């Protein structure tokens, strides 16, 4: 399993709404993530909107994203989430992930 860490930036004025959506993630979206190989997925949000995400996958980040891109529910979810993120080019959130290099791991 590969461990993936990434960052995004949520707009400050949208933080509460963003958190509310993630309290009620659609069951079909959860199923799609599992089917695409995403495991142990967590999101952490700082008060300034900095979002850190972590998940484990048998794939690299590019492949993991591509596997989700094949899911119709992911298209709907990404369109709904797009207004919550700072994006210079109106990209979908899953197109803006900045992968972080893993420099230490304690198992």
Nearest CA among 8, 98, 79, 3 for reference residue 41: 3
Angle between helix 72-81 and 15-23 (nearest 10): 150
Alpha carbon distance 8, 96 (integer Å): 7
Q: Is 22 a catalytic residue?
A: yes
22, 24, 59, 105: the active-site residue: 22
Active site residues: 22
């Amino acid at each position: 399993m590969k461990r993936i860490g990434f960052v995004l930036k949520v707009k400050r004025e949208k933080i509460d709404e963003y958190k509310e959506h993630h309290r009620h993630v659609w069951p079909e979206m959860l199923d799609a993530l599992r089917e695409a190989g995403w495991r142990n997925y967590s999101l952490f949000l700082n008060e300034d909107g900095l979002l850190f995400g972590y998940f484990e996958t048998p794939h690299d980040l590019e492949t993991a994203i591509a596997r989700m891109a094949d899911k119709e529910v992911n298209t709907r979810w990404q369109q709904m989430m797009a207004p919550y993120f700072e994006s210079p080019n109106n990209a979908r959130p899953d197109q803006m992930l900045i992968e972080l290099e893993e420099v230490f791991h304690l198992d």
